[in-house]
């Protein structure tokens, strides 16, 4: 359903690849799908295709383009998992947010409105929170975002709705970090947190061993309702 397109950076002096999936008709809203550390792989492309099937323009920017061309890794292959961790160590997250913002501007131009949301997973869950605080994105969803407890000093800048999905047995987000997220965000008027008891990181991966079908279906239904409400 989708294809790779080149999108201009914010400075306009370079282009970077994005997987773009178009709906059958005219899209009235768009969703930026923010990758895990595994790049714009089969699972991320499938998520874009799903959003396009629901009528959204869906865009997955290749955020690792400056450090590795065409990252497409499998979380279930140990060697590829290690490669992903190595790339993560080289990735400039602040620059990544600027590339996400460039994708937002591209989407706004394509649909002719500001009705653009984002959804991210793992690293992308963290970046979705940062996007909510640093851009004019209209709705943001993060799945098992890592290190959000260290970003709480940015919560005052969140102007539009945010939803976070938190598995309670996340091996990358310990209990004290989860507690800090709840303490810092439960009373925020724009933020909703959902806990998933006993589940681990990656439970909503589109494919592979990490996926928990029941929990992924529940979380995704909440995400779909969220975007339907806030990007209407």
Would you say 133 and 150 are in contact if contact means Cβ atoms under 8 Å apart? no
SS3 per-residue string spanning 48-90: HHHHHHCCCEEEEECCCCCCCCCCECCCCCHHHHHHHHHHHHH
CA distance 45 to 20: 9
- Residues 138, 151, 61, 49, CA torsion sign: negative
Catalytic residue set: 170, 201
Helix axes 123-134, 93-111, angle to 10 degrees: 70
CA distance 158 to 136: 9
Q: Say how many residues make up the chain.
A: 232
3-state helix, strand, coil in the chain (%, to 5): 40, 20, 35
């Amino acid at each position: 359903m989708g294809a790779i397109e080149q999108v201009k950076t914010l400075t306009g002096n370079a282009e970077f690849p994005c997987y773009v999936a178009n709906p059958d008709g005219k899209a009235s809203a768009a969703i930026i799908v923010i990758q895990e550390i595994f790049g714009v792989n089969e699972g991320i492309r499938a998520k874009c295709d799903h959003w396009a099937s629901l009528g959204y323009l869906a865009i997955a920017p290749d955020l690792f383009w400056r450090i590795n061309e065409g990252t497409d890794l499998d979380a279930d292959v140990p060697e590829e998992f290690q490669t992903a961790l190595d790339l993560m160590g080289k990735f400039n997250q602040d620059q990544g947010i600027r590339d996400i913002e460039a994708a937002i501007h591209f989407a706004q131009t394509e649909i002719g409105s500001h009705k653009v949301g984002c959804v991210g997973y793992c690293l992308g869950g963290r970046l979705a929170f940062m996007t909510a605080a640093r851009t004019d994105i209209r709705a943001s969803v993060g799945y098992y975002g890592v290190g959000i407890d260290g970003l709480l000093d940015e919560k005052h800048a969140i102007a539009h709705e945010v939803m976070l999905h938190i598995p309670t047995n996340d091996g990358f987000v310990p209990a004290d970090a989860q507690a800090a997220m709840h303490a810092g965000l439960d009373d925020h008027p724009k933020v909703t947190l959902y806990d998933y008891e006993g589940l681990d990181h990656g439970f909503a991966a589109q494919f592979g061993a990490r996926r928990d079908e029941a929990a992924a279906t529940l979380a995704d239904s909440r995400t779909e309702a969220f975007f339907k409400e806030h990007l209407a």
